[in-house]
């Protein structure tokens, strides 16, 4: 990736981030398109001596490209063309699913809760050639802003903490159009997933499918759930 090809604003963000952290771009091939994700090269340096297992709630989960995010990005990229339908990615982290959807004609907003995450997203959007096609927004699930409803809500590995189940469900109910759909992707071992889906069944009809693949000589099983209003 030639940084000189980035627009000036995103090049400045990149240079600011690079002054603090070791960085690299990870390409994610989706059909004929390539998402280029800006990532932390040295996680130990980024953690600055903190023990990531001492308090899992403080681990920066956004720095990892989760297998479920890859599966969701592939799914959104391969759906029928979005034709400008509005899509919101929640807890987007690196933003792979949202960028995959943008390549497929969706009007995409990707969200997270820290400025640094949004900075990484902005550079990735520009590096992927999607400037002007994807918006980055701060979204606090406990105090969400007003937004026009979306046709699609989506997220990968967003169910780490049970205290956020109800706030997330409230966002689903507030931000989804009556005829909209929610697409979630999680590792099959995510123990919190069944608990959240049980809570959501009061308001949504839920189905699911499994995607299996191998990565680094390991079998990976991802569950993709589709939720529609009752």
Structure confidence by residue, pLDDT tens digits, 162-216: 999 999 999 999 999 999 999 999 999 899 999 999 999 999 999 999 999 888 7
What is the value of pTM for the model shown? 0.94
Between the alpha carbon of residue 63 and those of residues 23, 149, 169, 204, the distances in Å are 11, 28, 24, 31
Structural domain containing residue 102: 3-53+62-229
Given a cut of 80, whether residue 58 has pLDDT beyond it is no
How do residues 75-115 score in pLDDT, each as one tens digit? Answer: 999 999 999 999 999 999 999 999 999 999 999 999 999 99
Between the alpha carbon of residue 82 and those of residues 78, 118, 183, the distances in Å are 10, 24, 14
Give burial (CB, 10 Å; 0-12/13-18/19+) of 144: middle
- How many folded domains does the chain comprise? 1
Give burial (CB, 10 Å; 0-12/13-18/19+) of 228: middle
- 171: CATH: 3.40.50.150
3-state secondary structure of 202: coil
Given a cut of 80, whether residue 142 has pLDDT beyond it is yes
Mean pLDDT of the chain: 94
């Amino acid at each position: 990736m030639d940084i000189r090809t980035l627009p000036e604003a995103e090049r400045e963000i990149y240079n600011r981030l690079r002054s603090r952290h070791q960085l690299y771009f990870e390409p994610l091939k989706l059909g004929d398109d390539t998402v280029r994700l800006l990532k932390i090269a040295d996680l130990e340096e980024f953690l600055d001596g903190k023990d990531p297992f001492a308090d899992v709630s403080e681990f920066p989960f956004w720095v990892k490209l989760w297998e479920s995010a890859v599966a969701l990005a592939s799914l959104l990229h391969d759906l029928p063309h979005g034709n400008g339908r509005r899509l919101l990615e929640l807890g987007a982290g690196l933003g792979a699913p949202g960028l995959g959807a943008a390549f497929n004609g969706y009007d995409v907003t990707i969200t997270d809760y820290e400025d640094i995450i949004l900075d990484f997203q902005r550079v990735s959007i520009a590096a992927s050639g999607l400037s002007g096609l994807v918006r980055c927004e701060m979204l606090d699930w406990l105090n969400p802003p007003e937004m026009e409803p979306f046709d699609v809500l989506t997220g990968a590995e967003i169910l780490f903490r049970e205290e956020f189940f109800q706030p997330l469900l409230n966002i689903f109910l507030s931000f989804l159009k009556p005829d909209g759909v929610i697409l979630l992707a999680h590792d099959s071992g995510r123990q919190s997933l069944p608990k959240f889906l049980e809570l959501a069944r009061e308001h949504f009809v839920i189905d699911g499918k499994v995607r299996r693949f191998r990565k680094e000589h390991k079998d990976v099983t991802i569950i993709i759930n589709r939720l529609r209003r009752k």
